[in-house]
Chain A
Amino acid sequence: MYRILSKEVLSDVVKLMDIEAPHVARRAAAGQFIIVRIDEFGERIPLTIADFDRDRGTITIIFQELGKSTIQLGKMNAGDSVASFAGPLGHPTEIENFGTVICMGGGVGIAPIYPIARALKQAGNKVISIIGARNKSLLFWEEKMRAVSDELIICTDDGSHGRKALVTEPLKEILDNKDQKIAKVWAIGPAIMMKFVTLATKPYEVPTIVSLNTIMIDGTGMCGGCRVLLEDGAQFVCVDGPEFNGHKVDWDNLLSRLSFYKDEEKKAVEHYDHKCRLENAVAKGEK
């Protein structure tokens, strides 16, 4: 069992947790992920590491409540424990001094882009960060991102905070600026956002790294459920990634694979809601 040491509510549907897992924290690095399983009945959920503290032996995870498991996890509190916590999995981000780089985080993807931006900044890069979300309430870690960026651009789809724009708009403006050569771009967020970022950078031939979060079970190379089609064949996100050259990813294949269990995901949420309502009713003594 792994204890939740603290919890922060970043928005109605985005939660942060520090989990006590020294065996994961000791070698954790930016770009890697963990697998968490809530209880005996739980599925194994891959989440990219948002932060880590090797001295305290903790891993910070940030998740958006989208399916049954993340909704259930979001209801847990400091002092509660999760049944399994494995990692750090996948390859760490390759960090070196590239020059000027852009770090893009979309929605809950702001969480994993943070340690990457921080590491790139520490390595001497000029870091331009672009973070975005549908609206202001889904944005978080603005100040933390600002602290590790030379420049921070904020976008929301509805204009409730920062620019009213998709993250690809400021990206294109920066790439159009001939005075500033961009060495590399990192983009983490919903698959559709990463797809459009790679489409935007492609004409400029700027290397673009994306971090993929696919359907996955074990996270150690065993199931192959996470396989992604690249130009030169299929690879496993868990052991070959999670970061890939975004220009080589077959995004349509990825998006269709992500949607394979949509009906079951819906059914699981309904089943869980029903169970919760029953439990509440019993607790209140209703019939």
Chain B
Amino acid sequence: MAELKPHERMKIKRHDMPNQDQLVRRGNYEEVALGYSEETARTEAERCLQCKDPKCVQGCPVGVMIPQFIKALREGDMVKAVEWMKVKNNLPAICGRVCPQEVQCEGSCILGKKGEAVAIGRLERFVGDYELSHRSCPLVKAPATGKKIAVVGSGPAGITCAVDTAREGHQVTMFESLHGPGGVLIYGIPEFRLPKAVVHGEISYAVDCLGIDLKTDHVIGRSFTLNELLEEYDAVFLGTGAGLPSFMRIPGINLNGVMSANEFLTRVNLMKAYQFPDYDTPVRIGRKVAVVGAGNVAMDAVRCSQRLLALQAAQTGEAPGEAHIVYRRSKDEVPARQEEVHHAEEEGVIFNFLTNPVEIIGDETRRVTGLKCVKMELGEPDASGRRKPVEIKGSEFVMEMDTVIMALGTNPNPIVFVDADGLERTKYGTAVADTERGRTKKKRVWAGGDVVTGAATVISAMGAGKRAAADINAFLKGEADWE
């Protein structure tokens, strides 16, 4: 394509990404968003104005070199596009799928001020998928330094830190408590949003290229403690995430049929309960499911429920059940990615806004039969800047339900803090670590991701892993003191 003038670029409309048909996809776990074709990707890339002072980069938690990779992409030089991408981001196929771009890179895109932002996330995914299948840009390990690093947790923070320190020539061991690596990417985010093959492809490639020693089934705090790791390793990075689920303090929480979103998603995603009995782990949800909350985890849980209900209906011949979101605020305050909400709506999820559960009702066999809620209205803004929901007196009502799934956020798992004197924690259970370098209050221990911030995003965890890796590398080279 000949070089375009800016006004010509601005005339090109943002390209939609093709999706699996909304009626078909309710009954399967295959990926919903199908990705751009090469032609669409290159045309979309033509929309980028190549700003001198690119706002999109400032909007990205890891500062991906967005104008550079987009320019290479539109020139058809995929190898170069991958190279630019990998300067800052080793997991583009993952980020392109799960980042909340509308509040990050795309939210800052200058085109978005008057029209629609460049579809940076979709382009990132296109470049990431190209690299997954072509492997044109191998990760290279510097000569061995003889230094040893323990990375605890193999989620987004851990993987990023492991890759960036292993490239420097350090010997990295990555510990994972579950039976496979990936953390929330494999137990939490469903197949239809982030295929496991993408996660496994990215992780096994990095592990193989850089000789990272991956130890699954190792629970740090139990199999080995932090203090024991410090005897053997020069530096330890904690990327243990926030895995401990919160439950509401309302009556009926221990009835059969009440689950944390973590339990539900782990059964479905990690243990593949949707393929029971070919896989051993079952999941039982009945015909009416309420997911309490409206974050990304809630959207994942409700969309998994919708699929399970459709699969059940296909087997029994009955009409499919109902999957509900129950959220105490209004649609404007929904914290989930826009695309997830949009997809959930398309798939037939029923949204109950300004609705707050007050009791879970069960029968004599202690099984859930309903969710008692109260209607809310929006009052004055609260500490988070969002208008505070206030109960409408006398508005209680009961929704008939078989299953109630709690998606109310998670807290860091306390096990890693065993035998870890000096590792300070906040009252929320998160590790105290500085934002710029990830240093904790315990010497030679860094931390990043959800274990520090509480439940947040994949990309912010990766950013923290990256900053900690840079400081670990500097520290081990003797370029930075601890004090």
Which residues of A are interface residues toward B (Cβ below 8 A)? Answer: 23-24, 26-27, 37, 41-44, 68-69, 83-89, 217-218, 220-225, 227, 229, 234, 239, 250, 252-253, 256-257, 260-261, 263-265, 267-268, 271-272
Contact = CB atoms under 8 A, between A and B. Distances in A.
B277 A217 contact: no
A83 B180 CA distance: 11
Interface string B154-192: 000000000000000000000001110000000100000
Contacts of B177: 86, 218, 220
A183 B245 CA distance: 36
Pick the 3 closest A-B CB pairs, nearest first: A264-B282, A223-B263, A43-B280
Given A84-B216, A86-B217, A224-B260, A271 B277 contact: yes
25 contacts: A23-B223, A44-B179, A84-B179, A85-B217, A86-B177, A86-B179, A218-B187, A220-B219, A220-B413, A222-B243, A222-B244, A223-B245, A223-B266, A223-B267, A224-B259, A224-B262, A225-B259, A225-B263, A227-B254, A239-B413, A260-B256, A264-B276, A265-B282, A267-B277, A268-B276
Contacts of A218: 177-178, 187, 243, 266
Nearest to A84: B179
A265 B277 CA distance: 9
B352 interface: no
Given A88-B223, A222-B413, A223-B260, A260 B243 contact: no
Interface residues of B, number: 41
Given A23-B223, A220-B415, A234-B253, 15 more contacts: A23-B224, A24-B223, A44-B281, A68-B280, A86-B177, A218-B243, A218-B266, A222-B262, A222-B266, A224-B262, A252-B366, A253-B254, A257-B254, A264-B277, A271-B278
Interface in B251-288: 253-254, 256-257, 259-260, 262-263, 266-267, 271, 276-282, 284
Nearest to B362: A256
Contact of A239 (B216, B257, B415): B415
Nearest to A32: B222
Interface string B362-390: 00011000000000000000000000000
A229 B249 CA distance: 13
B205 interface: no
B88 interface: no
A229 B258 CA distance: 13
B218 interface: yes
Contacts of A86: 177-179, 217-219, 223
Contacts of A227: 247, 254
The majority secondary structure among interface residues of chain B is loop
Contact of B254 (A43, A69, A234): A234
A217 B222 contact: no
B54 interface: no
B59 interface: no
A109 to B, nearest CB: 22
Interface in B234-248: 243-245, 247
A165 B164 CA distance: 64
Of A68, A87, A221, A256, most buried by chain B (CB within 10 Å of CB) is A221
Nearest to A263: B284
Contacts of A85: 217
A260 B187 CA distance: 22
B414 interface: yes
Contacts of B413: 220-222, 239
B264 to A, nearest CB: 9
